[in-house]
Chains A and B, each alone.
Chain A
Amino acid sequence: NAGVTQTPKFRVLKTGQSMTLLCAQDMNHEYMYWYRQDPGMGLRLIHYSVGEGTTAKGEVPDGYNVSRLKKQNFLLGLESAAPSQTSVYFCASSYYPDTQYFGPGTRLTVL
């Protein structure tokens, strides 16, 4: 039982490049979330999903897109990366909007 896994762990992008972050969970959770963590800002919700095929915007959705084609996977895309998107990204999942289980994070640097 791996829990929540994230790929990749680290990435460096140039401004304007695109990339996709993959989150996978093996707990059969309905809810999945993408957060970014910045110093002094805590965790801010980017997008979330309440089930396969659904997505919704969080607090800071601009510049990001998501997809939930399979229940176990939640993808976060950056179409044209900007330096302001330098951050640590965390994925989480939960059976209900209750206790969340977090992945180990992806550290992204945009130059």
Chain B
Amino acid sequence: AQSVAQPEDQVNVAEGNPLTVKCTYSVSGNPYLFWYVQYPNRGLQFLLKYITGDNLVKGSYGFEAEFNKSQTSFHLKKPSALVSDSALYFCAVRAFAGGYQKVTFGTGTKLQVIP
């Protein structure tokens, strides 16, 4: 069975510092990986995805993520955090499961950027 783990419930970072939100996955076969962001009282918004190719994926709002096959990780990063980046971040993986494509979401990581 495929799974996604976000080991940190909350990440605190000072404004202007680099941030990392961690995600590890477990699938059979090649994964498609996603990051979504959820602002308070809103639905999830797509940030970026990895399908194949370059291990460093660039997305919206200056975010990027690094795919590491050997460590089965897909960590979200940003060089300089903004207070407006404070939100809930979800990692997701898509892979074949029982003959169809299944998407599994992690439990989310709350990012708090401190002014």
Binding site for B on A (CB under 8 A): 4, 35, 40-43, 45, 50, 90, 92, 96-105
Known: A43-B90, A97-B94. A102 touches B107 (CB 8 A): no
Contact indicator B90/A104 (Cβ below 8 Å) = no
For the complex, give the distance between the alpha carbons of A105 and B100 in Å: 26
Chain A residues with CB under 8 Å of B45's CB are: 102
- Pairwise interchain contact A41-B46, C-beta atoms closer than 8 A: no
Decide: A103 and B43 in contact? CB cutoff 8 A: yes
Q: List 29 A-B contacts (CB under 8 A).
A: A41-B107, A42-B90, A42-B105, A42-B106, A42-B107, A43-B90, A45-B103, A50-B100, A90-B43, A92-B44, A96-B101, A97-B100, A97-B101, A97-B102, A97-B103, A98-B32, A98-B94, A99-B46, A100-B44, A100-B103, A101-B46, A102-B36, A102-B43, A102-B44, A102-B45, A104-B42, A104-B43, A105-B41, A105-B43
Chain A neighbourhood of B22, CB < 8 A? none
Q: Is B34 an interface residue (CB 8 A)?
A: yes
Residues on A with C-beta less than 8 A from B46 are 99-101
CB distance from A97 to the nearest CB of B (A): 4
What B residues does A102 contact at CB under 8 A?
A: 36, 43-45
Q: Count chain A CB atoms within 10 A of each CB in B32, B34, B94 and give the residue with the most.
A: B94
Residues of A within 8 A of B100 (CB): 50, 97
* Bound: A76/B101 CA distance, A: 22
A98 to B33, CA, bound (A): 9
Give Cα A92 to B43, complex, Å: 9
Smallest CB–CB gap between B71 and chain A, Å? Answer: 22
Contact among B49, B94, B105 for A43, CB-based, below 8 A: B105
Chain A residues, CB < 8 A from B106: 42
> From residue B66, how far is it (CB to closest CB) to chain A in Å?
19
Contacts of B32 in A (CB 8 A): 98
Which of the listed residues B36, B43, B49, B102 has the most CB atoms from chain A within 10 Å of its own CB?
Answer: B43
- Shortest Cβ distance from residue B88 to the other chain A in the assembled complex, whole angstroms: 10
Q: Which residues of B contact A90 (CB under 8 A)?
A: 43-44
